[in-house]
Amino acid sequence: MKKQVYNPFLPIYECVPDGEPHVFGDRVYLYGSHDKEGGETFCMLDYTTYSAPVTDLSDWRCEGTIYRADQDPAYPTDRKFMYAPDVVQGNDGRFYLYYCMSGRAGFGGYNGPISVAVSDSPAGPFRYLGFVHYPDGSPMLNYICFDPGVINDDGTIRIYYGTWSDEALDKDFPNHEKAIQAVMQRYHKSRNEVLQTEGSVMGPCTVTVGDDMLTVTSEPRHIIPAYTIGTSFEEHPFFEASSIRKIGGKYYFIYSSWQNHELCYATSDLPDRDFVFGGTIVSNGDVGYHGRSEKDRLNMTGTTHGSIECINGQWYVFYHRLTHKSDYSRQACAEPITILPDGSIPQVEITSCGLNGKPLHGTGTYPAVIACNITNGHMPHGSNKIYTDSFPNATHCGEDRFIGEIQDGTMLGYKYFAFSGAKEIGVQYRGSCNGKFVVSDNMDGKNIVAEIPVAPADAWTESRAPLHISDGTHPLYLFYRGDGEAAVKELYLA
């Protein structure tokens, strides 16, 4: 690699969530939504993509704006924003972008068709082509068109899509009028559509299209049971974020569960049915990893969306983290994963080193925001809003990116560093803080390796302290102990 790479692996101001990684030729491309840094709702910006050589995942290049919302005929009605897309190479060699338009905060995002754009290059730019439709030209609106994922399955183009409402998780849903009305209103479906659609209007579905990439060639159908109680999906029901991969003849369906912080997977020998729950691949709060509970989440958790990809022989999971105390400024992260001989994927922890392929150097200057754990011990689960109460978070002001609202009891975790002779640690900070950062190489904080004093400072100020840590690979955990509030911009190791 030309340089080190850490999470988030794109420029620290960039917010590309819902990432779909695809290798085309000798480069990997990341397609996703495009949040605004400090944004006020989801997906405020036009699509961009980044790409990197498959041999150097530190060398990400911005390909610029690849598609604009105003290229879609639905703009600028009640659907101004483009949600999570996917890209597939068609049988004609061109590249096709599948997406759905939505309104502010998701409103109006469930009643439109799946739109399609096309380009001669995986780097774009794309131009509007049309929408997925039946042979008579009418839009395919069966079930709920949302979060399309696409695969070219040996010449057959398969689209996976859908979402699920908690009101509709219960088999007794048809007997609950209030729940029926809620689903009708949220998803702009008639009573007949809600009650008479096979199984349920909710859930993940699949449909095939022809070589024109638009015309439906099969009837849409559910790929897992409409109601999950009593099935392998009962504990991790589908919510959204459909993504599909084919590995060794087996289909892997990757999705965000109703837990809303984890990417799960299911497998089948068939593309359109008989999927069985496999497990959780990653949680953006490390929930479930080594039995961690939701109340002990290691970050603010919230929406996640992503997929897996084999890059130069190594499999990775791409996901996103939350910043700015909301779900509106999400950043791309990635971790290496292992697909075991039986096809299972063990859950991986979130780290700071991600795509680096090894621990980060034990000396150097790092952005504080690469902390993979930011917690005060009672972090919230995100929702469709910006939180106003105080808790530690990655944020920005002008050109500065930092972790703010650090109060007594806050822990910042960095995983992992390869230490060899490091003797000093420091932070660049500011704020009303008066205390110290107690540094440990254990999450329990018992093995103290440094104490960095901090005092009130209006401007960014540097404080350093001796570091007593053995050589080898270690995490670092910084615990703030003291009064007032701190913001940390950089971490120094020497």
Q: Which residues are catalytic?
A: 18, 240
Neighbours of 271 (CB within 10 A): 19
Neighbours of 411 (CB within 10 A): 21
How far is 81 from 322, CA to CA, in rounded Å?
A: 19
Tokens encoding 207: 């449909």
Rg (CA), the chain: 23
How far is 285 from 291, CA to CA, in rounded Å?
A: 12
Q: Are 19 and 307 in contact (CB under 8 A)?
A: yes
CA neighbor of 90 nearest in space, from 153, 21, 134: 153
267 phi and psi angles, rounded to 5 deg: -130, 155
- What is the SS3 assignment for 290? helix
Q: Are 123 and 29 in contact (CB under 8 A)?
A: yes
Three-state helix/strand/coil letters over 162-178? CCCCHHHCCCCHHHCHH
462 phi and psi angles, rounded to 5 deg: -100, 135
- What is the SS3 assignment for 105? helix
Q: Are 313 and 371 in contact (CB under 8 A)?
A: no
How far is 484 from 458, CA to CA, in rounded Å?
A: 13
The residues near 398 (Cβ < 8 Å, ≥ 6 apart) are none
How far is 463 from 387, CA to CA, in rounded Å?
A: 30
The residues near 341 (Cβ < 8 Å, ≥ 6 apart) are none
Name the CA dihedral angle for 212, 216, 222, 223, rounded to a multiple of 10 degrees. Answer: -30
Please name the helix (run of DSSP H) or strand (run of DSSP E) that holds residue 182, with its range, or none.
Answer: helix 177-187
Name the one residue in this structure whose structure tokens are 């940390």.
488
Which residues on neighbouring strands pair with residue 59, listed in sequence order? none
How far is 468 from 440, CA to CA, in rounded Å?
A: 10
CA neighbor of 301 nearest in space, from 241, 256, 261: 261
Q: What is the β-pairing status of strands 486-493 and 364-367? A: antiparallel
